[in-house]
A = this chain, B = another copy of it.
Amino acid sequence: MHAFRQACVDRGVKVTHQRLEIFRELASTEEHPDVETVHRRVRERIPTISPDTVYRNLKMLVEHGLVSVVGMSHERLRFDANMGPHHHFVCVRCGLIRDFRSPHLENVEFPEEAEALGEPVSLHLEVKGVCAQCRSVEDSRS
């Protein structure tokens, strides 16, 4: 928590009671809770905290790299008819998703650490980054 306070100060972000409790709650669990769950739990300590504050803070923490989103950020359901082996590149800026194949990664086996958690069915790599187009827009602005 001390490191978190410091991270806020470093970024010029105010250290509010709500923000501390939201982060504390998230950092204290490994279950990757959703917003409602975080809100419910934090409310036990701050009864008046609003859902909006929880949303706002979590989103802000993601943007500052202090927290990550599992899966994709606030996107809609998206589908893929390619059932062959492939991986995904996801642009964190515009949401573009492209498949790619990689001979190196064709034969990755189910890691035994994952097998301890359950019976694996599918496996693929998710590479997040900034796509070429968003990158060029960025360059032309600077």
Identify which of residues 22-59 in chain A touch chain B, using a CB-to-CB cut-off of 8 Å: 23, 26-27, 30-36, 38, 58
Chain A contact residues, majority secondary structure:
mixed
How many copies of this kind of chain does the complex include? 2
Residue in contact with A118 in the complex, picked from B27, B105, B130, CB distance below 8 Å: B130
Nearest CB of B to A74, in Å = 6
Interface size on A, residues (CB 8 A): 72
- 15 pairs of residues in contact across A and B, judged by CB atoms under 8 Å: A30-B98, A32-B79, A33-B79, A34-B75, A38-B79, A70-B72, A71-B71, A74-B77, A101-B113, A102-B113, A105-B108, A118-B134, A118-B135, A120-B128, A124-B126
